[in-house]
Amino acid sequence: MGWTARQLKALMISLTVLGLVGGVGWLQGTYAAKDDSGPLTPEKVFPASSKCKKCHIRAFEEYEESIVARAIVTPTFRAMLEDYAGKGKDKHYCLNCHAPQAVVFPELADSMVKQIISGDPTFEGVGCIQCHLIKAVEPNLKGHPPIKVEPGRTVFGGYKDFLESKAHESQFVDIFKKSDLCLSCHTIAPPGVPTAEAVGNWKGSKAAKEGKTCQTCHMPQGFDSSANEEKKRDIAGHEFNGKSPALRRQAFDLDYETEVKGAQTKLTVKVKNLVPHNVPTSHPIWNQVYLQVSIRGLNLKEVFKAKRVYGRTFADAKGNKTLMDHDAVKLLEDTVLKAEETRAESFAFPTPEGTPSFDVEISLHYATPGEAWPKAFADRVAFFTSRGLNDPVFKSSEITKRCGNTKVTEGKIRKLPCP
């Protein structure tokens, strides 16, 4: 028997309704409800961030390009974790920040470590839900990230005016507006030297007293569409800027003067750290920043070059210098630029001969960790990347640069734009 137009219309409506109900059911199943039947699984509790993209397109695209999205796949982390796990250390210490699934499923730590080292993990490290299931944190006093993860269908965030969603429940938690959320992981210090934490006296900074938080710089607000472009409002950025060239250039001010005294010249450089935390920060062991000066005399020939390094040097239990934070037990040297500190550096060099003036170039750089790594470890890092020793991790990057020219008879530098 043939279908009438009315019957076909009724069938189409029924199929559409069924499809919508099925779709809602799938979305609701994306996040694990407390009353779901069956045990909680990592897939239920920590769904892939790509599922969040269906509604949060802009946030996902920003996150996808961020360093946070690569928390477990960078060659440095894989090599470090391999060394760490190979020495019988507690695997949860690394995973609690780099793969918070281990907080909820500690029994999976061994298999997670193996997958990460293999370079083919079946899970994300720090994805959308890994942060947005955090209900609370406690002050980080011992370097261990005390995040309180609450599995379920409720997604926590920093908006009081959140939109209702069929994919999950939403709840405002003020921790998302505070630096404590970020600092739960980003104050990590070498376990054996907890006083050498990375961020430094952030709470005593001018920025903190003005009410600024980590999110102010690293998740800057912008007026844009909310999920599914339902309305316009202030939206937090999810690029997690920290190493972007634009942000780095805003982080320092360089002032410089020369004084010619006959055959000798003195160059004084004042390095002002404009950010409210230590520089360098992030990884407390191998991150370094260095100031470099170059003097060019007749025919622009370089006649003097020097640099000052800002970072930390640690020793292991045998008294040997180490770059492995899990081996560090003693801080040997600390030259990091403290929060909002101005450091004056002096350089003395022979006044260039046979020229009425000489050029001065001053630059600040993020050092490549590879310059200080033991060869065996550097080779292992290179093994974990398709680019080998040509990977960017082995290349330093310039932060900012200043230039000038000094007439020998006058002795004072004339500050000029860099070519």
Tell me the pLDDT of the chain averaged across its residues. Answer: 85
pLDDT on residue 337: 94
Q: Is the separation of the CB atoms in 205 and 277 below 8 Å?
A: yes
Does residue 227 fall inside a structural domain? Answer: yes
**Are residues 269 and 201 located together in one domain of the fold?**
no
Last residue of a domain, one of 191, 213, 236: 236
% of the chain exceeding 70 in pLDDT:
87
pLDDT on residue 13: 38
Highest mean pLDDT among 4-18, 34-48, 123-137, 360-374: 123-137
pLDDT on residue 355: 96
Q: Which residue has the tokens 């002050």?
A: 139
End-to-end CA distance of the chain: 84
Which tokens is 333 given? 């040297």
**Are residues 249 and 219 located together in one domain of the fold?**
no
**Are residues 290 and 399 located together in one domain of the fold?**
yes
Last residue of a domain, one of 204, 236, 268: 236
Query: What's the CA gap between 42 and 330, in Å, rounded?
Result: 38
Does residue 32 fall inside a structural domain? Answer: no
**Are residues 193 and 284 located together in one domain of the fold?**
no
Does residue 10 fall inside a structural domain? Answer: no
Does residue 95 fall inside a structural domain? Answer: no
- 3-state class of 120 per DSSP? coil
Alpha carbon distances (Å) from 300 to 259, 262, 303, 414 = 20, 20, 9, 17
Does residue 108 fall inside a structural domain? Answer: no
**Are residues 215 and 265 located together in one domain of the fold?**
no
Does residue 139 fall inside a structural domain? Answer: yes
Torsion angle, alpha carbons of 100, 28, 228, 18, to 10: 150
**Are residues 249 and 376 located together in one domain of the fold?**
yes
Query: What's the CA gap between 210 and 343, in Å, rounded?
Result: 23
Question: Which range has the worst mean pLDDT, 27-36, 99-108, 238-247, 320-329?
Answer: 27-36
Highest mean pLDDT among 100-104, 208-212, 267-271: 267-271
Name the E strands within 316-379: 321-322, 330-334, 342-350, 357-366
Domain hosting 55: range is 42-71+126-236
Question: Which range has the worst mean pLDDT, 4-13, 43-52, 291-300?
Answer: 4-13
Say if residue 339's pLDDT is above 80. Answer: yes
**Are residues 388 and 305 located together in one domain of the fold?**
yes
Question: Which range has the worst mean pLDDT, 207-216, 238-247, 255-264?
Answer: 238-247
Query: What is the arithmetic mean of pLDDT over 292-302?
Result: 97
pLDDT on residue 73: 94
pLDDT on residue 202: 87
**Are residues 216 and 264 located together in one domain of the fold?**
no
Query: What's the CA gap between 115 and 331, in Å, rounded?
Result: 33
**Are residues 259 and 316 located together in one domain of the fold?**
yes
Residue type, 28: Q
pLDDT on residue 10: 43
pLDDT tens-place string over residues 208-233: 999 999 999 899 887 776 676 666 77
CATH of the domain at 300: 2.60.40.10
Backbone dihedral angles phi then psi of residue 64, each to the nearest 5 degrees: -60, -30
Query: What's the CA gap between 146 and 138, in Å, rounded?
Result: 6
**Are residues 307 and 205 located together in one domain of the fold?**
no
Does residue 19 fall inside a structural domain? Answer: no
Q: Is the separation of the CB atoms in 116 and 101 below 8 Å?
A: no
Pick 146 or 228 by higher pLDDT.
146
Last residue of a domain, one of 199, 214, 236: 236
* Residue from 334, 207, 215 nearest 279 by CA: 334
Q: Is the separation of the CB atoms in 359 and 300 below 8 Å?
A: yes
| Tally of domains within the chain | 2
pLDDT on residue 7: 43
Query: What's the CA gap between 300 and 405, in Å, rounded?
Result: 11
pTM over 0.85: no
Q: Is the separation of the CB atoms in 204 and 192 below 8 Å?
A: no
Query: What is the arithmetic mean of pLDDT over 108-129?
Result: 95
Q: Is the separation of the CB atoms in 93 and 265 below 8 Å?
A: no
pLDDT tens-place string over residues 180-201: 899 888 887 888 898 888 888 8
Does residue 14 fall inside a structural domain? Answer: no
Query: What is the arithmetic mean of pLDDT over 86-106?
Result: 90
Angle 93-67-72 (CA atoms, 0-180°, nearest 5)?
40
Q: Examine residue 146 and say whether the peptide bond preceding it is cis (omega within 30 degrees of 0).
A: no
% of the chain exceeding 90 in pLDDT:
59
Query: What is the arithmetic mean of pLDDT over 66-95?
Result: 92
**Are residues 130 and 259 located together in one domain of the fold?**
no
**Are residues 249 and 379 located together in one domain of the fold?**
yes
* Residue from 408, 384, 414, 386 nearest 119 by CA: 384
